[in-house]
């Protein structure tokens, strides 16, 4: 237990130090006023699109690597990187790269947790989720797939909870890869829609114009439908 506490402290401090370094470097280049201006967003949108068009493979590879690092070791979650993926890479390539990056990062986090945090996770969560143990033993991959699809648990914890059931890393990876596609596709679509709206407007669009655009409201409606399905799925899946 003492070893686990030291690991948690090290991870927390490392994350904090890296975050501070990133913020210092970022704000040494840009002011808060700049990054919140529409011109800044539009100009950088043009730069990113040109960069993608000139070397799609390299940009995709860099974004994939950053997405993996975003999940592990930085313990980030899916929504910001999905929106950014759609904004830079577009709907289809963005979905592919983000889903792959999140799945690889989540698997690294799961493997790390299985080696170093397993006892802590069992102590904290086993009683709450013990009813799932039989389900996972019955059909590990299928229940992992459903577990990843319905979500409802903070991303980092959802990557670590399966350590309780000692699932195979390969099953965890492929279940994550398939299970997160719907929600990531919708988030990426919103990011792609925002990029298209910025491309068409010289001035910042009003909020009403933004949400009434088919590029935005269609994936948003899809997202709410997915949330409802996930809530229903969670009630069934986590039922004793």
Can you give the pLDDT at residue 210?
A: 67
pLDDT at 30: 60
The pLDDT-based confidence of 170 (bands split at 50, 70, 90) is very high
Tell which wins on pLDDT, 166 or 14: 166
The 10s digit of each residue's pLDDT in 184-200 is 999 999 888 888 888 77
| Structure confidence at residue 104 as a pLDDT band (50, 70, 90) | very high
- Amino acid 24: pLDDT: 72
Residue 67 has pLDDT above 90, yes or no: yes
**Long-range contacts formed by 140-146: CB under 8 A, 24+ apart:** 140/165, 140/167, 140/168, 140/171, 141/171, 141/174, 141/175, 144/171, 144/172, 144/175, 144/176, 144/179, 145/175, 145/178, 145/179, 146/179, 146/233, 146/237
Q: Alpha helices, DSSP H only, in 117-213?
A: 118-129, 131-138, 140-150, 155-160, 169-179, 181-200, 207-211
């Amino acid at each position: 237990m003492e070893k686990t506490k030291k690991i948690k402290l090290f991870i927390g401090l490392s994350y904090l130090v890296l975050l501070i370094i990133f913020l210092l470097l970022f704000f040494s280049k840009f002011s808060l006023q700049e990054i919140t201006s529409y011109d800044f967003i539009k100009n950088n949108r043009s730069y990113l699109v040109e960069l993608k068009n000139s070397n799609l493979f390299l940009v995709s590879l860099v974004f994939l690597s950053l997405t993996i690092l975003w999940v592990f070791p930085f313990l980030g979650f899916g929504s910001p990187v999905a929106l950014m993926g759609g904004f830079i890479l577009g709907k289809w390539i963005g979905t592919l790269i983000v889903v792959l990056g999140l799945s690889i990062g989540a698997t690294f986090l799961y493997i790390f947790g299985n080696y170093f945090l397993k006892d802590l996770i069992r102590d904290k969560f086993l009683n709450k989720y013990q009813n799932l143990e039989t389900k996972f033993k019955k059909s590990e991959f299928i229940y992992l797939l459903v577990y990843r699809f319905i979500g409802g648990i903070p991303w980092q914890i959802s990557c670590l909870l399966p350590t309780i059931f000692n699932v195979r890393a390969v099953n965890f990876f492929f279940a994550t890869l398939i299970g997160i596609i719907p929600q990531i596709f919708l988030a990426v679509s919103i990011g792609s829609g925002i990029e298209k709206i910025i491309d068409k407007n010289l001035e910042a669009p009003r909020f009403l114009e933004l949400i009434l655009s088919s590029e935005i409201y269609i994936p948003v409606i899809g997202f709410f439908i997915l949330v409802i399905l996930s809530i229903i799925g969670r009630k069934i899946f986590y039922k004793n």
